[in-house]
């Protein structure tokens, strides 16, 4: 902590810029919610925002910590960077795909809305991610063996 009470990693200039840029955007969004209240349903929106914050704090973050902690203990140090990248990509894909996989917005009267099998698409994308992670690890191991052979001569 600095004398001002801010953590040593916090820049006063960065904080000022963040507030100067963020508060007007926040105000514009809140204004839009108030003006279009019939379409935005402010009470429902507030419940959704608070619920998302609670789910994030009580479910997503603890799950991410548990997965990271477990993976760090199981994965060798030389493979940790690639595995960490794979975990990050998998988490981002799952988070983005969740509404599609769950079918939010699907309308039986309009079959062109959400027409695909998004669960299978998510699985395919995750397979691609982990194939790349595996390939990176194999190439790194081949290079490391080549360096070790070159040193032994």
**Rounded Cα–Cα distance for residues 33 and 94 (Å):** 29
Q: Round the average pLDDT of the chain to a whole number and report it.
A: 91
**Structure tokens given for 13:** 């200039």
User: Would you state the pLDDT for residue 36?
Assistant: 94
Terminal Cα distance for the chain, rounded: 53
**Rounded Cα–Cα distance for residues 130 and 87 (Å):** 9
**Rounded Cα–Cα distance for residues 20 and 44 (Å):** 28
Nearest in space to 91 (alpha carbons), one of 110, 63, 55? 63
Checking phi first, is residue 6 left (phi over 0); if not, alpha (psi -120 to 50) or beta?
A: beta
Please identify which residue in the block is written with the tokens 């081949």. 142
**75 three-class SS:** coil
pTM of the model: 0.71
**Structure tokens given for 96:** 């983005």
| Residue numbers of the chain with a pLDDT score lower than 70 | 1-4, 6, 152-153
**Rounded Cα–Cα distance for residues 100 and 125 (Å):** 14
């Amino acid at each position: 902590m600095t004398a001002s009470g801010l953590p040593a990693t916090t820049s006063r200039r960065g904080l000022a810029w963040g507030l100067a840029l963020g508060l007007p955007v926040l105000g514009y969004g809140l204004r839009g919610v108030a003006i279009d209240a019939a379409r935005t349903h402010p009470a429902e929106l507030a419940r959704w925002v608070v619920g998302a914050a609670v789910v994030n704090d009580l479910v997503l973050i603890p799950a991410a910590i548990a997965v990271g902690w477990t993976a760090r203990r199981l994965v060798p140090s030389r493979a940790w960077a690639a595995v960490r990248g794979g975990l990050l990509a998998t988490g981002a894909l799952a988070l983005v795909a969740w509404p599609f996989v769950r079918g939010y917005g699907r309308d039986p009267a309009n079959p062109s809305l959400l027409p695909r099998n998004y669960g299978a698409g998510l699985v395919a994308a995750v397979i691609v991610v982990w194939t790349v992670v595996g390939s990176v690890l194999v190439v790194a191991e081949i290079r490391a063996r080549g360096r070790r052979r070159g040193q032994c001569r």
